Amino acid sequence: MEEGVGRVASPRFGASRHIASLILAVMQYDPGLRSAMNIRYSVKIIEICSGLGLSVREFDRGKEPPEIKAEEGKSIPWGVREAIGEGPVPDVIYDRGDWGKEPMVRILGHDPLEVAEKAIEIHRRRDG
């Protein structure tokens, strides 16, 4: 895909196991957060998120235990635990990737509209 905004697929319930896993893990900390979106990672995106006043937390896939990496479906819940720790759930959770794992930014919200509004504002700042 070229640089810029692009759509991989239309939004739909259950379209991504990774997002579903993320939402379920986040809901253990805040049951009201029930929506999320993946966007491509870049340093600029993280700077924009912070500049918008969004709370941003990172997890390091390089620190992921081998037994977590080895089992499908365990990485995202582990990453959520690492990113949240003892603090509140942030607006954005990101990682810089690892071998075979692309870097990713995950926008969280209470509903799809809230997530979309955050994503649109990030896009406006990036291209504005």
pLDDT in tens, 110-126: 999 999 999 999 999 99
Is residue 7 a part of any domain in this protein?
no
Q: What's the CA angle centered on 17, arms 14 and 18, to 5 degrees?
A: 125
Is residue 87 a part of any domain in this protein?
yes
Is residue 8 a part of any domain in this protein?
no
pTM: 0.87
Tell me the two tokens of residue 56. 């941003």
Is residue 121 a part of any domain in this protein?
yes
Is residue 9 a part of any domain in this protein?
no
C-alpha closest to that of 36 among 44, 24, 48, 45: 24
Is residue 70 a part of any domain in this protein?
yes
Residue 37 CA, chain-centre distance (Å), reads 6
**Across 12-26, 42-56, 95-109, least confident range:** 12-26
pLDDT at 15: 65
Provide the number of structural domains found in the chain.
1
Is residue 64 a part of any domain in this protein?
yes
Mean pLDDT of the chain: 90
- H or E segment to which residue 106 belongs: strand 104-109
For 58, the domain range is 17-127
